[in-house]
A and B are shown apart, each in its own frame.
Chain A
Amino acid sequence: MSVTLTEGAIEALHNGLQVDTPVLQLLKKCQITNTSGPPRFRLAMSDGQHSLSSFLLATQLNHLPENNLLVPNCVCILKKTITSTLADGRRVVVVTDMEILQSAEEAGRKIGNPTPYNAESRMSASENLLSSTSVSASPPPAANPGPSYKNNSKVHAPQGSGRGFVEKSPMKFTPTEASPMKFTPTEASPMKFTPTEASPMKYTPKKVSPVKFTPTEASPMKYTPKKVSPVMFSPAEASPMKTSPMKFTPEKVSPMKFSPTKMSPMKYTPKKVSPMKATSASPGSTPKVIPIANLNPYQSKWAVRARVTSKSSIRTWSNSRGDGKLFSFEIVDESGEIRITAFNKEVDSFFSLVEQGKVYYISKATLKPANKQYTTVKHDYEMTLNAHSSIVPCDDSQGIPTVHCDFVPIAELENRHKDAIIDVIGVCKSADDVSRITTKTSREVSKRALSLIDTTGKVVTVTLWGEEAERFDDSGQPVVAIKGARLSDFGGRSLSALFSSTVMVNPDIPEAFRLRAWYDHEGYAADSQSLTETWSVSSASKMNWKALSDVKDEHMGHGEKAEYFSCVATVLYTRKENCLYQACLSADCNKKVIEQQNGRYRCEKCNREFPNFKYRLLLSANLADYGDNQWVTCFQETAEVLLGHSAETLGQLRDTDEAAFAEVFHKVNFTTHIFKNRVKLETYNDECRVKVTVIEVQPVDHREYSRRLLGNIRRLAS
């Protein structure tokens, strides 16, 4: 099949004119290596008439060449491009969206006989380019960030030979948002600036002798200008240099391995920048807003308009290098989200200004590759605020989503790994009350468990902690969305809100409305299946089952802490002598009272006298199973359950009917129960003994017991 290329497109694109989805053939592609960050691909495209090699592929399309979809001779349609002008006048077309129309095999060979367009854009362009002033005259229309370049160029316009321009526009070039020239032009480095010309391209090697890139990382600029090496920019002249090391094309060196990331354009000497800074800071001249998804370090003048989705509190740290404080927040707009961190001084400036849920214009922050271990936000880069950053509240929040979430259907949670960070949305079917839990570190924390159900019909339990637990209002079965909860395998599958999670009740997003509608119509009746087992089951599954022989074999209780275990055992003997004692009547005081001469009873702990006492049980029993027997102590509660009578009744029975009293104890013998015990090594008058106390007595659930045994057998057999 034949596909027609859009002739004249190359010319148009290069001149910055709008072309409607041109069809071009790929002649060559080459990968520009970076020291950090994703690779960049540079393409040479042809329209049958002309060819141009200054096409750059936006990183979001990197998968095309990496998966060998984009190969020389294939024909593609460029759906979105941005043409930008470098400060030196060269044009670069950044392709942000394209599709392959015909594979290389189908196309066969080079279509037409394209001649390289605008040879000046390549090597020999230097002269033209270097007279940058003219560049400013033709602003690239398509580029959003374009204006920044425009401004740039305009700014340096007067300078002519570069020197003056130094003052004017430090940084402003980042010609394309794509990558400040990370061209490793295989064919010819456009950057061939002949240093001789004091090109606005920032270095005037002539003037500056040994220019040294201050961004030390920019060493890849293996730029060896004929005249000067090593290149060193003295701030006075060279500040622009600093910003775009890329601009040199030492003839020798290619590819320019600059690590653009380090070269964050922002690192310009403030003093030069000040005029700039002032302009951008003033609310009146808000720079052109770009989508968050397009943010990258190679762009100098940008602004984003976004809503703050979550804000952390100020955290301080101190390590060997000193102390510091930071806070971070995430912003979202229609295109995506990104994380922003502010350190030290910026914390003071911005912490009170930034509020969750509000929309701001943010500009002039530093971009660098995202440190994925600190964040779950999906963006290649992250932002750091610096002294020049500006955050201005914005009133127009139209079009900005309140939050950007990738909700996972509850049924899918089973397929995710434990400890994954998940966003989830569901209707809160029910919520437990707030409970206070004391953690092992003796901190008291509130917690609350909610059951969320969604359209998949599955239910999962979500745990909220601290303030969120207390604040949560579950009336009316609200739609709850949680961003950044951690999936755990507690009780099957359950979710826990983290410090960094955001819990939104009845959020203003389409999924919430859908869920509300579904729930009101069908969901409330749906018989849902919970992924998180009920508490009783899960607590049973955590019981530490042991046989009585294990207590001795494993030296349980010998450590510092008491150990807990459960066992199925039979009562062999219960001691009826000394099973009852007279206890203090005060509530919560169970101390033994001494009978005094006057017939009253004295409690040593309360230091009080009472006319009466209450009977309490302290039962000694011998339990046994197939392996061993064990003497245990049962206190009041467990003894009453075991014997089946209250302490008072037994007290009276002892005084009245001896036989009946004995019978009670007799009946217990040879009954089997599930005992939950606490075992600890205790020292009593120089003697160390392992003491076992019964915490809970339960009847044997034979089915559960059988299942457990069958499981054990199978496990032992395999």
Chain B
Amino acid sequence: MAGILDVPKPRINCDMLLQHVNKPVCFLGRVEKVHPTGKTFTVSDGEGKTATVELNEPLDEELSGIVEVIGMVSNKGAIMATTYNILREDRGVPFDLELYNEALKVIHDFPQHYPFEVAASG
């Protein structure tokens, strides 16, 4: 777990999943459906496409709204989550997922301006 948190994790959406297979990523999306077992759930991104998230342990809380999932992308295009964050909807400005998606596209369109590097100061 510590390993993945030290490494730069590009933010992606569903279109970019397959380019990041076996790499650590950060996926932000809206929870769609939670599997009855609680070990997997689907999320949709700003464009409306869905991806599957798989957990090591079953969920111990109700999941809804927008979550940020950090994990590795499996060969099948699912995200093996190591950790997740729920963005609380009752606080602050509502999160604009479509706007986030637009920003994601900019980041990936101009990698020369948004380099993913390990922090040099470390």
Q: Is the CB of A702 within 8 A of B93?
A: yes
State whether the Cβ of A717 lies closer than 8 Å to any Cβ in chain B: yes
State whether the Cβ of B18 lies closer than 8 Å to any Cβ in chain A: no
The CA-CA distance from A717 to B105 in the complex, in Å, is 13
State whether the Cβ of A321 lies closer than 8 Å to any Cβ in chain B: no
The CA-CA distance from A687 to B103 in the complex, in Å, is 46
Number of interface residues of B (CB under 8 A): 8
Chain A residue nearest to B106 (CB atoms) is A713
Report if A710-B96 is in contact (Cβ < 8 Å); known contacts: A717-B109, A717-B110: no
Which A residues are CB-close (under 8 A) to B109? 717
Which A residues are CB-close (under 8 A) to B96? 703, 706
State whether the Cβ of A707 lies closer than 8 Å to any Cβ in chain B: yes
Which of A702, A710, A717 contacts B102 (CB under 8 A)?
A: A710
Q: From residue B89, how far is it (CB to closest CB) to chain A in Å? A: 15
State whether the Cβ of B16 lies closer than 8 Å to any Cβ in chain A: no
Q: Is the CB of A710 within 8 A of B99?
A: yes
Which A residues are CB-close (under 8 A) to B99? 703, 706-707, 710
Which A residues are CB-close (under 8 A) to B110? 713, 717
Which B residues are CB-close (under 8 A) to A702? 93
B16-45 contact mask (Cβ, 8 Å, vs A): 1 or 0: 000000000000000000000000000000
The CA-CA distance from A199 to B99 in the complex, in Å, is 86
Report if A710-B93 is in contact (Cβ < 8 Å); known contacts: A717-B109, A717-B110: no
Chain A residue nearest to B109 (CB atoms) is A717
Which B residues are CB-close (under 8 A) to A706? 96, 99, 102-103
B90-106 contact mask (Cβ, 8 Å, vs A): 1 or 0: 00010010010011001
Q: Is the CB of A703 within 8 A of B103?
A: no
Chain A residue nearest to B94 (CB atoms) is A703
The CA-CA distance from A702 to B99 in the complex, in Å, is 10
The CA-CA distance from A714 to B102 in the complex, in Å, is 10
Q: From residue A368, how far is it (CB to closest CB) to chain B in Å? A: 59
Which B residues are CB-close (under 8 A) to A710? 99, 102-103, 106
The CA-CA distance from A570 to B106 in the complex, in Å, is 25
The CA-CA distance from A657 to B57 in the complex, in Å, is 55
Which B residues are CB-close (under 8 A) to A713? 106, 110
Which B residues are CB-close (under 8 A) to A714? 106
Q: From residue B104, how far is it (CB to closest CB) to chain A in Å? A: 11
Q: From residue A709, how far is it (CB to closest CB) to chain B in Å? A: 9
Which B residues are CB-close (under 8 A) to A717? 109-110
The CA-CA distance from A706 to B110 in the complex, in Å, is 16
Which A residues are CB-close (under 8 A) to B93? 702-703
The CA-CA distance from A707 to B98 in the complex, in Å, is 10
Chain B residue nearest to A713 (CB atoms) is B106
The CA-CA distance from A213 to B27 in the complex, in Å, is 90
Binding site for B on A (CB under 8 A): 702-703, 706-707, 710, 713-714, 717
Binding site for A on B (CB under 8 A): 93, 96, 99, 102-103, 106, 109-110
Known contacts A703-B99, A706-B102, A706-B103; can you find 8 more A-B pairs with CB under 8 A?
Answer: A702-B93, A706-B99, A707-B99, A710-B103, A713-B106, A713-B110, A714-B106, A717-B109
Question: Top 10 nearest A-B pairs by Cβ distance?
Answer: A710-B102, A703-B96, A706-B99, A713-B106, A703-B99, A710-B106, A702-B93, A707-B99, A710-B103, A706-B103
7 pairs, A vs B, C-beta closer than 8 Å = A703-B93, A706-B96, A706-B102, A706-B103, A710-B99, A710-B103, A713-B106
